[in-house]
Amino acid sequence: MTKVTFIEHDGKEHTIDVADGLTLMEAATKNMIPGIDADCGGACACATCMVFIPEEWTSKLAAKDDMEETMLDFCEHAAENSRLSCQIKVTPELEGIRVTMPENQH
């Protein structure tokens, strides 16, 4: 299990223990954390599971593939440090990661 903190746009924090191998999106939706819509169920086809990753964690994540890059282009709130949470598998290396959700997923 790996401890992950999801931070809502208003600053409300949700810290949960996540089974390794789940994606950040699956962890959030299973725990009913608000702010991750995940309309496509993790197929990298909706971009409604976007999160912001703090700089210190970006090097611990696998790089974005072309599909994720393309989908992020459709996100109104996307920034340099945006990732799709359905494309990030939780591993022990991510222990303590904190990710922030955008104001909305449109």
Note the residues at the interface with ligand FES (CB under 6 A). Answer: 25, 38-40, 42-49, 71, 84, 86
Q: Which is nearer to ligand FES, 11 or 61 (CB)?
A: 61
Residue 58: phi, psi to the nearest 5? -60, -35
Q: How far is the CB of 39 from ligand FES (least distance, A)?
A: 6
Q: List the one residue out of 80, 87, 81, 85 whose CA is nearest residue 6.
A: 85
Q: Which is nearer to ligand FES, 27 or 47 (CB)?
A: 47
Q: Which is nearer to ligand FES, 50 or 94 (CB)?
A: 50
Q: How far is the CB of 86 from ligand FES (least distance, A)?
A: 3
